[in-house]
Structure 1
Amino acid sequence: MSENSVKTVKINTELTNVKLDNKMGNNKNNSSSEENKRKVTSGSGDSHIKVKSAIPRKRQELLKWYGWGYNDSYFKIDTRDNKGVVTFTGDRYLIGGKTLPHFASWVKEKFDVDLLEQPRVPDVPPSFPDTRLPDHVYEELGRISGTSRDGMDRYIRAHGQTLREMAYTRTNGFKRIPDAVVWPKTHDEVVEIVNLAGKHHFVIIPFGGGTSVSCAVLCPENEERPIVVLDTSDMNSILWLDKDTLLARVQAGIVGQDLEREMRSRGCTVGHEPDSYEFSTLGGWVATRASGMKKNTYGNIEDIVVQTKVVTARGVIERSCRVPRLSCGPDWEHVILGSEGCLGVVTEVTLKIRPLPPIVRYGSLVFPDFDSGFHFVREVARHRLQPASIRLIDNEQFLFGHALKAEASWASNLVDGLKKMYLTKLKGFDLKKLCAVTLLIEGTLEEVTDREKKLNTIAAKYGGIPGGAKNGEIGYTLTFVIAYLRDVAIDFNIVGESFETSVSWERAPLLCRNTVRRIRDECARRRLTHYLVSHRLTQTYDAGCCIYFYFAMKCIDANAVKIYEEIEEAARDEIVACGGSISHHHGVGKHRKKWYKGTVSEPGRMLLLSAKRTLDPDNIFALGNMDFDEYKVQSKL
């Protein structure tokens, strides 16, 4: 990873004095009074920054209603001459507008599928269920905030992004969809809506970016009360930003890309960058205890959050002082972090921010096998030398990354050929075993140079060699594109998904081997012969790491999704048996409820139910996630 193998990006670090006044709402507690006393404004004199979001209220105008991502971004198949050549459309991603000459042959080899048909966009449902929300209640909601009972507005907010939910969208298979959507703009409007829910006995489902992969926002199908989705996307203002204290107060509905864009325009960053960063919201990060790709530098969401404001059925939860730490019993901020919308609505968050790093460098390393790469990553963590992002991919993902490589000039192909010869002939690497590490390093020039030198030294101990800056950048950003594959794969009878776990260092290799073996055994038992199972190490800690598994299979059975879920459940059983967690950052939702009690213990489960009884005795937030039985929660409490 020498100087010529790493991309360097210089960022303007001149910091302007942007401070914003918080005049949102009429809260009387000490914390809000403190914020109101700031009397700081932006250069334009606005009392706060109302962000123009990249995602419109009518989400279906920009985003796919039946799958992941933007309408203009997808894998387009050219069927001329029966070649099935693939191009990724649009210009939002690095591979946008480029032909992928290796992809069709990889799909044929891995899944025995010829890409000779254009994927079919599902038909919009011809009709939607009638709303159950009474007219007079809908009118009362309309006097508080924006509202809609439009069928598509409700339908697109009836789900997250699990394989099951995507199958439902294509077949109109939802047993329930929301009866109305509301868009509050302020904390006080949320208070009014929650009070109205208690008065008129309807259910509230908080909804952010709709990127959940745990069935967390799926409507409880046997819920007899009307269901109202509280879409937080209009609550996206930056209420104030203080560069002296490096803190910002932000409404919880702001989308990740909008938050980062506004911060960067002011010389700052939050640094929280999950794979769903383009569409997920700040409130969703809090509700799921999210983690980002650059957590080594900026921390997970619980490390970034200083203070939250949450509307519950019993009132507003907010600490009376904004301090870095306090010792007065259990930290109730952490009751909200990971509560998955079951206890209330997060409306405002005070966040740590950082000045933009002056230097950003991508890099990559190639290792002869996964074990060598694992030992490298483990030693980097032991010495606490992790860059902003360090990710290890196995051989299957390495080959998959090559399949998504865009066509290049003859000169580039020549260089690639020479690199391949160097790896296989001179270094003795086996192309069917080698793996790669992608790196993202941020800091001052001195810090970045020192860090890459130390990483190179450790890599050499385990046979690692530089793989180039461009490969590192492509590997890092490819994460944002992978989710688009699932939607096109379904049309070719390929179903797949990813799932993650957190595991201690000493158990990680065994967990990886056993989980891959378990998936293969489950496929063999069902006589499935064409499938992909791979894994990567994505986040590291002193005590362990996060492992992501990817599993996709060709299955022409009408119950393909059910079969996939059975195999994934078996894989998760194996993960738990090997000492792994049921989730690292995606939460529990309804999808992983089976393992909740075993993870937190019976007293832990009782504590969760007690919090529900205290904060939401009438089960207004009846999502049924974690251990809340979606139909019997009231009798439990």
Structure 2
Amino acid sequence: MWLSEAREELGGLIDDREDVREGYRVDAWPLAVKRARNGSPGTPPVAVALPRSTADVARVLAWAASRDVAVVPWGAGSSVTGAPLPTGDALVMDMRGLSRVREIDSSGGRVTVGAGVTGGELERILAEQGMTTWFSPQSLHRSTVGGWVATRATGQFSSRWGGIEDAVLALTVVLADGTIARVGTPPRGAVGPDLKSLFIGSEGAFGVVTEVVLRIHPLTALSGLEALGLPSVEAGLTGLREVMQAGLRPALLRLYDSDEARHLAGRQPLPEAVVLVGFAGVPAVAAAERQATSEILAGLGARSLGSEAAEAWLASRYDFSRVERLLDEPGGYAETIEIANGWTEILQTYRAMKLALTPLADEVLAHFSHTYTDGTSLYLILLGRVADDSEAVRRLEAIWAVAMRTALTAGAVISHHHGVGRARAPFLADQLGEGAAVLAKLKRALDPGYVLHPGSLVPASRAVRTSG
């Protein structure tokens, strides 16, 4: 009978109107979208909590823990893996009310921001002060800062500025019992383990992030935008590796195979691989990095294709409409899957993924867009059409099963930056090995009642009280 108790004890924080609850059945996961359009949407929550402060979040969680009510945090609903989708008799906690940019410390290089602030709004406010996070995921305008932390996200300029784990200086998090904790010791500390890292990538299973302190940087324009053609994906991967291992850090460093390169603005005929580069920072340093990068790539047979393709990418880098339009078609389907592997293994991983997935889609596009000294990500886009939405659902289910099995066989990391969610949950134990037991022990320590997002990261092990 918890719903009546929630109305009475939490008052205006709770909304259980049907039209409101219906908005939490589906996120941006293509399989969930297609299932919904095929008549099988996800389970709506029993009610929605609408906090506007850390204190509100603590109040809701303390109440939920005392009554064994499952709570599922929700950001902007832009997850492409089903991460925030509720199951069973759940209370969704919509974090978008925590939407304040509380403090910008330009000289200190940090901003304190509510978890519900969208990336686009944060960047707009920072730009007015001549600052930026340089954290720019494709979902910038449709995702929240809290969502970035929860899923261990990364941005399009990560080769220079890293992922969210590099951007976060400190967190305010509310634990399952309502305890408020502030973790993180900027600029660096040697005072025990880095506690904030427990919550980066935890997908709401260990605590609810309510406020984030992020690094910020002076806002400068990208320079030296250029597309370069290479004779093969292998040559392109060698180029990315040599650039990163030389200590160079282009802001933009992306390699496309010939199938995806056809979708870039540019020239025909296209080479077998295309690299996009761009640079940022002090002009003289950026110019030197550009020169050194060009020399490395030229030594591998690169030739300039001009700036058009790179400029077109920059102008459209937040556009997800190609996937959305195809999902809107009866029988149309699309999926994006990102994995990662080391330099020694990545070429064979790419070939294995393309070979395994090509029978399942009309097009399998691939690019490498987040590079490190020891490896790179591989991002695959699958596009196709079948007879009807029922077949499209089956095709998407097959794509996930084949992609994850192939990635695991290749020794790859099964998610680079989209997180686990529903999509990868069945494969997580195989990925983590003995680490899965560590996750389970952390869950029991931080959330012994399995109140927070049951089933997220750790298999659910709780009895959920009925709503009544």
The alignment's TM-score, normalised by the length of structure 1, stands at 0.69
**Alpha-carbon separation, structure 2, partners of 1:173 and 1:192:** 34
Identity of aligned residues (%): 27
Retained in 1: the 8 A contact 2:150–2:201?
Answer: yes
Q: Hey, what's the Cα distance between the residues in 2 that align with 1:318 and 1:433?
A: 53
**1:302-451 equivalence runs, <5 A:** 302-316=165-179, 318-319=181-182, 322-357=185-220, 360-402=223-265, 420=268, 431=269, 433-451=271-289
Amino acid at match of 1:560: A
Structure 1 unaligned spans of 5+: 1-131, 403-415, 421-430, 524-529
Q: Which range moves more in the overlay, 613-622 or 285-294?
A: 613-622
Find the aligned partners of 2:144 and 2:136 in 1 and give their Cα distance. 11
**Post-superposition shift, 1:372?**
2.4
Q: Aligned AA for 2:347?
A: P
* Secondary structure of 1:582's aligned partner: coil
1:477, CA displacement in angstroms?
A: 4.0
Q: Which residue of 1 aligns with 2:303?
A: 465
Q: Deviations over 1:528-555 (max 9, x none)?
A: xx61112110110011000101222322
What residue in structure 2 maps to residue 140 of structure 1? 9
Letter in 2 for 1:314: D
Task: Tell me which residue corresponds to 2:437.
Answer: 606
**Paired residues of 1:363 and 1:467 also in contact (CA < 8 A):** yes
1:213 is matched with which residue: 77, 80, 92?
80
- Partners of 2:95 and 2:320 in 1: CA distance: 27
Greater C-alpha radius of gyration: 1
Distance 1:342 1:477 in 2: 36
- Deviation digits for residues 405-439 of structure 1, max 9, x if unmatched? xxxxxxxxxxx8xx65xxxxxxxxxx365321122
* 2:148 maps to 1:281: no
Give the SS at the match of 2:423: coil
Hey, what does 2:290 align to over in structure 1? 452
Residues 341-390 of structure 1 deviation map (CA, whole Å, 9 limit, x = unaligned): 11221011111111112654532212233222222222111212231121
Residue 518 of structure 1 aligns to a residue in which SS? Answer: helix
2:41 to 169, 174, 181: 174
In structure 1, the residue corresponding to 2:220 is in which secondary structure?
coil
> What is the CA distance between 1:298 and its match in structure 2?
2.0
**Partner Cα distance (1:175, 1:582) in 2:** 24
**Gap change, CA 1:361 and 1:138, over 3 Å in 2:** farther
Query: In structure 2, how many angstroms separate the alpha carbons of the residues matched to 1:620 and 1:343?
Result: 10
Equivalent pairs, count = 463
With over 3 angstroms needed to count, the CA separation of the structure-2 counterparts of 1:244 and 1:330, relative to structure 1, is same
Q: Distance in 2 between matches of 1:327 and 1:372?
A: 41
1:88: which partner in 2? Answer: none
Relative distance call for 1:487 and 1:628 in structure 2 (3 A) is farther
Distance in 1 between residues matched to 2:182 and 2:161, nearest whole Å: 23
State whether structure 2 residue 387 is matched by structure 1 residue 551: no
Q: Is the 8 A contact 1:486 1:497 kept in 2?
A: no
Match of 2:62 in 1: 195
Per-residue displacement from partner, 1:62-105 (whole Å, max 9, x unpaired)? xxxxxxxxxxxxxxxxxxxxxxxxxxxxxxxxxxxxxxxxxxxx
Aligned partner letter, 1:352: R
Q: 1:593, CA displacement in angstroms?
A: 1.8
Gaps in structure 2 of 5+ consecutive residues: none
**Alignment RMSD, CA only?**
2.3
Amino acid at match of 2:382: F
- SS state at 1:293 partner: coil
- Residue aligning to 2:127: 264
Work out which of the residue numbers 91, 100, 104 in structure 2 matches 1:237.
100
Please give the per-residue CA displacement for 1:267-323, whole angstroms capped at 9, x wherever unaligned: 111111111111111111111111111112222111111111111123435357743
Given candidates 22, 29, 54, the residue that maps to 1:155 is: 22
Once structures 1 and 2 are overlaid, which stretch shifts more, 230-239 or 455-464?
455-464
TM-score, normalised to structure 2, is 0.92
8 Å CA contact 2:236, 2:273 repeated in 1: yes
SS of structure 2 residue aligned to 1:545: strand
Decide which of 614, 624, 635 is 2:455's aligned counterpart: 624
1:295 equivalent in alignment to 2:162 = no
Offset of residue 443 of structure 1: 1.3
Per-residue deviation, 1:218: 1.7
Aligned mate of 2:354, from 503, 516, 539: 516
Name the structure 2 match of 1:574: 406
Q: Give 1:512 shift.
A: 0.6
Q: Is the 8 A contact 2:241 2:373 kept in 1?
A: no
Q: Distance in 1 between matches of 2:373 and 2:457?
A: 28
Corresponding letter in the other structure for 2:53: T
Tell me, yes or no, if structure 1 residue 501 matches structure 2 residue 362.
Answer: no
**Structure 1 counterpart SS, 2:104:** strand
2:75–2:146 contact (8 Å) kept in structure 1:
yes
SS in 2 for 1:575: helix
Cα–Cα, structure 1 residues 359 and 277, in superposed 2: closer, same or farther, change >3 Å? closer
**Paired AA for residue 245 in structure 1:** G
SS at match of 2:395: helix
CA distance in 2, matches of 1:489, 1:179: 28
Match for 2:457: what amino acid?
A: M
Shift of 1:483: 4.4
Contact residue 394 and residue 536 of structure 1 kept, 8 A: yes
> 3-state DSSP class of the match of 1:559?
helix
Contact 1:358 1:444 in 2 (8 A): no
Decide whether the 8 Å contact of 1:385 with 1:451 is kept in 2.
Answer: yes
Amino acid at match of 1:547: L
